[in-house]
């Protein structure tokens, strides 16, 4: 009798699951993961014959399950209840550990963190390892999510070469290099310190290889001096606007331009912000610890903002451009919006030009990733013009652009993951020689999907504006 009851219950469960997964409307967008879900594939006899159609149907089916976000949240709650503190779980390091092409260095042992910064804030905090090796620090409303850094002390030479190349090509311009550290060094607890490599040795290595009068803007210790303030977001991989303020202040000092303190700015708050680290970590503790997103807008300075906006295809390639059109630099978002980091320029896939009332004949070009979005707003008192270019989205010829716009200062401002990337030099070099005309994307060649022979190096990456680190992995839907 008990067996029949058990079998009956199992049948009911299976029927219910089949009904849910096959009859209810399928999900199209994941707010949790901040992405559009897989679309049903287009059919063709060729794709059916080579197996790609059935494979894509399978991917669509598994990616668009009804109530996807709700089911993932239930899973996160369960994991949070049963998860043990740090053990021997594998950690994904978010930086390529390939050797540099121009200076192969054998990495042996751990690189010690320089003596100039020591974490006194969260050194004794509890910690656990979440999805993708994300380190979850603390508990309750003060939870902080950190990404592990896997780069070595000899890395970043491609970035240094790229910056040096621009100084050679534009000898009359002042060229600066700012490598932006991520939050991990400042807040990682002692018990998990071995899970992430120190960033300062990589940063120092990049600065040591700058030549030709390139000026480093070393903000590593500047950030450390303010680590007890809200300079990094707890629930997002980016720094907070306040952190960008201190970095901009140091840049202004190095560049020798006027700089205003925060008394010249209006303070704005977006409450209930939960950023990208919730989706990365799949840890409910991050969702349950929303924070204030605080940003600052300059007061008493006239300026105008114009945009050239790029349209991207599903593979993040530029297919067309529009503009220039005038717009606003700072965009407003409601409390609870996960898009708060889009406050600055509204996203990444565009060229932004800010013309101010300053008349000092200094025209700044910032070549940046999404961390750099928060910097220009502090430069409106300092430069006559500010040109903002995302290194992932630039289709013009750089030589023509610099000469036509009479650029006097060039700042490279990228987070340490992108500064470590071996692709940096190729991209920056291509900008100098490309025609300036948007090239049509190459035709898609259908072929049977193959299983990779090994796992690729993992990167929680700069999602064309959504999240960051080495290459775009999803559309610019939130502008992070």
pLDDT (0 to 100) of residue 82: 52
pLDDT (0 to 100) of residue 48: 77
pLDDT (0 to 100) of residue 8: 72
pLDDT (0 to 100) of residue 388: 98
pLDDT (0 to 100) of residue 106: 35
- Convert the chain into a string of H (helix), E (strand) and C (coil): CHHHHHHHHHHHHHHHHHHHHHHCCCCCEECCCCEECCCCCCCCHHHHHHCHHHHHHHHHHHHCCCCHHHHHHHHHHHHHHHCCCCCCCCCCCCCCCCCECCECCCCCCCCCCCCCCCCCCCCCCCEEECHHHCEEECCHHHCEEECCCCCCCCCCHHHHHHHHHHHHHCCCCEEEEEEECCCHHHHCCHHHHHHCCCCHHHHHHHHHCCCCCCEECCCHHHHHHCCCCCCECCCCCCECHHHHHHHHHHHHHHHCCCCCCHHHEEEEEEEEECCCHHHHHCCHHHHCCCEEEEEEEECCCCEEEEEEEEEECCCCCEEEEEEEEEECCECCCCCCCCCHHHHECCCCCEEEEEEECCCCCCEEEEEECHHHHHCHHHCCCCCCEEEEEECCCCCCCHHHHHHHCCCCEEEEEEEHHHHHCCCHHHHHHHHHHCCCCCCCCCCCCCCCCCCCCCCCCCCCCECCCCCECCCCCCCCCCCC
pLDDT (0 to 100) of residue 51: 75
pLDDT (0 to 100) of residue 99: 38
For residue 14 the two structure tokens come to 């299976």
465: left (phi over 0), alpha (psi -120 to 50) or beta: left
Domain residue extents for the chain: 28-82, 127-433
Per-residue pLDDT of the chain (480 residues; tens, 9 = 90+): 667 776 777 777 667 666 655 666 777 766 655 556 777 777 788 777 777 777 776 765 666 767 656 565 555 555 555 554 444 344 444 444 433 433 333 333 333 444 457 888 899 888 999 988 999 999 899 999 999 999 999 999 999 999 999 999 999 999 999 999 999 999 999 999 999 999 999 999 999 999 999 999 999 999 999 999 999 999 999 999 999 999 999 999 999 999 999 999 999 999 999 999 998 998 999 999 999 999 999 999 999 999 999 998 888 888 888 989 999 999 999 999 999 999 999 989 999 999 999 999 999 999 999 999 999 999 999 999 999 999 999 999 999 999 999 999 999 999 999 999 988 889 999 999 998 777 666 555 544 443 333 322 333 333 333 333 333 222 333 334
Q: Which of 80, 273, 32, 234 has its CA nearest to residue 146?
A: 234
What's this model's pTM, rounded to 2 decimal places?
0.76
């Amino acid at each position: 009798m008990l067996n029949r009851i058990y079998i009956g219950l199992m049948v009911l469960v299976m029927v219910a699951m089949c009904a849910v997964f096959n009859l209810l409307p399928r999900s199209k967008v994941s707010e949790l993961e901040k992405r559009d879900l897989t679309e049903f594939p287009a059919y063709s006899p060729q794709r059916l014959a080579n197996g790609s159609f059935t494979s894509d149907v399978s991917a669509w089916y598994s990616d668009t399950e009804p109530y996807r976000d709700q089911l993932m949240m239930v899973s996160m709650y369960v994991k949070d209840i049963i998860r043990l503190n740090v053990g021997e779980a594998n950690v994904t390091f978010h930086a390529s550990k390939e050797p540099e092409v121009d200076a192969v260095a054998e990495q042996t042992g751990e690189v010690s963190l320089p003596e100039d910064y020591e974490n006194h804030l969260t050194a004794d905090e509890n910690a656990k390892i979440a999805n993708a090796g994300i380190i979850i620090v603390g508990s309750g409303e003060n939870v902080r999510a950190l990404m592990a850094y896997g780069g070595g002390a000899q890395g970043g030479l491609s970035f240094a070469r790229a910056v040096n190349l621009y100084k050679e090509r534009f000898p009359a311009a002042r060229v600066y290099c700012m490598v932006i550290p991520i939050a991990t060094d400042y807040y990682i607890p002692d018990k998990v310190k071995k899970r992430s490599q120190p960033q300062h040795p990589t940063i120092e290595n990049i600065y040591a290889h700058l030549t030709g009068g390139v000026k480093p803007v070393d903000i590593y210790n500047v950030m450390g001096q303010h680590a007890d303030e809200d300079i990094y977001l707890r629930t997002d991989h980016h720094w907070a606007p306040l952190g960008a303020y201190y970095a901009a202040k140091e840049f202004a000092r190095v560049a020798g331009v006027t700089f205003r303190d925060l008394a010249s700015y209006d303070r704005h708050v977006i409450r209930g912000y939960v950023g990208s680290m919730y989706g990365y970590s799949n840890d409910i503790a991050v969702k349950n610890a929303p924070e204030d997103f605080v940003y600052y807008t300059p007061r008493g300075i006239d300026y105008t903002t114009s945009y050239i906006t790029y349209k991207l295809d599903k593979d993040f390639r530029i297919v067309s451009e529009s503009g220039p059109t005038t717009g606003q630099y700072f965009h407003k978002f409601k409390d609870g919006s996960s898009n708060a980091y889009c406050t600055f320029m509204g996203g990444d896939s565009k060229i932004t030009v800010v013309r101010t009332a300053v008349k000092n004949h200094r025209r700044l070009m910032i070549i940046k990733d999404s961390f750099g979005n928060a910097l220009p707003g502090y430069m409106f008192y300092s430069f006559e013009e500010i040109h903002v270019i995302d290194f992932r989205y630039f289709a013009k010829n750089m030589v023509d652009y610099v000469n036509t716009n009479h650029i006097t200062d060039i700042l490279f401002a990228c987070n340490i993951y992108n500064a470590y990337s071996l692709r940096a030099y190729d991209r920056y070099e291509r900008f100098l020689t490309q025609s300036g005309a948007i090239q049509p994307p190459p035709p898609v060649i259908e072929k049977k999907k193959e299983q990779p022979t090994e796992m690729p190096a993992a990167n929680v990456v700069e999602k064309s504006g959504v999240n960051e680190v080495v290459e775009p992995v999803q559309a610019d839907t939130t502008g992070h």
